Amino acid sequence: MLGLHCRLRKTQTLIYFGIMDITVVIPLYNEEESLPELHAWIKRVMEEHKFSYEIVFMNDGSTDRSWDVIEDLVKKDPNVRGIKFRRNYGKSPALYCGFAEAEGDVVITMDADLQDSPDEIPELYRMIMEEGYDLVSGYKQKRYDPLSKTLPTKLFNATARKISGIHNLHDFNCGLKAYKKAVVKNIEVYGEMHRYIPYLAKNAGFDKIGEKVVHHQSRKYGKSKFGLNRFFNGYLDLITLWFLSNFGKKPMHVFGFLGSVMFFIGFVAVICIGADKAYALLNHIPQRLITDSPYFFIALTTMLLGSQFFLAGFLGDLISRQSPNRNDYQIEKKI
């Protein structure tokens, strides 16, 4: 994936061979002003609660001074690591590489723009470790974003809840989330799928998914990196995920079904044409041309569509058979 499996120095050799409680993964694109403040805030919370931790800053091809700021933080603080993409790939690839690096028992993601509060970390950690959640998603119940964003978001979340079957989540795309380490090591966030990480987790078998109302702030510096096309792309991604989770390993089941329905309708239309002809013959009515019958066009269209669906099914099966992860299964335990 992207050829970016970069292994960095392990934070203080995993806090002197002990365990590491928390990894905070922060994807960022041009957020130079927020970083020092965010780092100081996380550090304060971690020290107050005596967590062993690391912060992984994922610089997603920033063109401002973000990387200089990260270099500076790494020099000053041994708990900080930085990864720099050569160009801007997007939030999902940044999370993917951050997850690959994460060593903490609990992995927390948060946006770099100070909209998410590090004060939520201790409770998120407790929910994962003590209440046994696989994933806890933040819920920005009171949002400080423009109406043009909050309104479509409500619709978006309602659809995502319905399609994913995760009925207790109100805010799929909240940047602030906590995961058991096993979750981030077993899901593949790609494209723009960061909006649906809970759905990806559920598909991988991590279904203890919870929610915590979190404090949200308006953006202090810079501007949002996503426009309104996020909603349109979001819906397309949701449909893809739904398809993959239901038929990803057996595309013929859906295309074959649609093809069969089409052929059935076509078959009925052919019978209607035959009945029409027989009726005309028996009652000595002048025969009309076959192309004058609407059934002819119904039969033609549905048969053609039916063959196309079957073809799509065969191709889909052929592709999924060749796919390198056709036999990827989540094994939870072996005894």
Longest CA–CA span in the chain (Å) reads 98
User: Which residue type does 216 have?
Assistant: H
With CB under 5 to 8 Å by kind, the binding choice for 60 among Mg ion, ligand UDP, none is ligand UDP
Q: Which two tokens stand for residue 327?
A: 């036999």
Determine contact, residues 184/99, Cβ cutoff 8 Å.
yes
Q: Does 60 bind ligand UDP (CB under 6 A)?
A: yes
In whole angstroms, give the CA distance from residue 76 to residue 107: 23
Only segment of 31-39, 74-82, 105-113, 322-330 that touches Mg ion (CB under 5 A)? 105-113
Q: Which is nearer to Mg ion, 111 or 237 (CB)?
A: 111
Q: How many Cβ atoms sit within 10 Å of the Cβ of residue 110?
A: 27
Site for ligand UDP in 15-44 (CB under 6 A): 27-29, 31
Count the residues of the shown chain that bind ligand UDP, applying the rule CB under 6 A. Answer: 17
Site for ligand UDP in 163-192 (CB under 6 A): 175
Q: Which is nearer to Mg ion, 225 or 249 (CB)?
A: 225
Q: Using the rule CB under 5 A, which residue among 32, 54, 60, 113 binds Mg ion?
A: 113
With CB under 5 to 8 Å by kind, the binding choice for 94 among ligand UDP, Mg ion, none is ligand UDP
Only segment of 82-90, 106-114, 184-192, 275-283 that touches Mg ion (CB under 5 A)? 106-114
Distances in Å between the Cα of 174 and the Cα atoms of 104, 183, 298 are 21, 17, 48
Only segment of 117-125, 219-227, 284-292, 298-306 that touches ligand UDP (CB under 6 A)? 219-227
In the complex, the smallest distance separating the C-beta of residue 128 from ligand UDP, rounded to whole angstroms, is 22
In whole angstroms, give the CA distance from residue 143 to residue 121: 19
Site for ligand UDP in 227-286 (CB under 6 A): none
Site for ligand UDP in 97-136 (CB under 6 A): 111-113, 115
Residue 119 CB contacts under 8 Å (≥ 6 apart), including other chains: 41, 45, 215
In terms of Cα–Cα distance, which of 308, 276, 303, 302 is closest to 289? Answer: 276
Which residue in this structure is represented by tokens 């995920």? Answer: 241
Only segment of 89-97, 183-191, 195-203, 248-256 that touches ligand UDP (CB under 6 A)? 89-97
Residue 177 CB contacts under 8 Å (≥ 6 apart), including other chains: 108, 109, 124, 135, 136, 137, 138, 197
Q: Which is nearer to Mg ion, 60 or 111 (CB)?
A: 111
Q: Which is nearer to Mg ion, 115 or 137 (CB)?
A: 115
- E strand or H helix at 108: strand 106-109
Which positions lie near ligand UDP, rule CB under 6 A? 27-29, 31, 60, 88, 90-91, 94, 111-113, 115, 175, 224-226
> Residues in the site for Mg ion, rule: CB under 5 A?
111, 113, 115
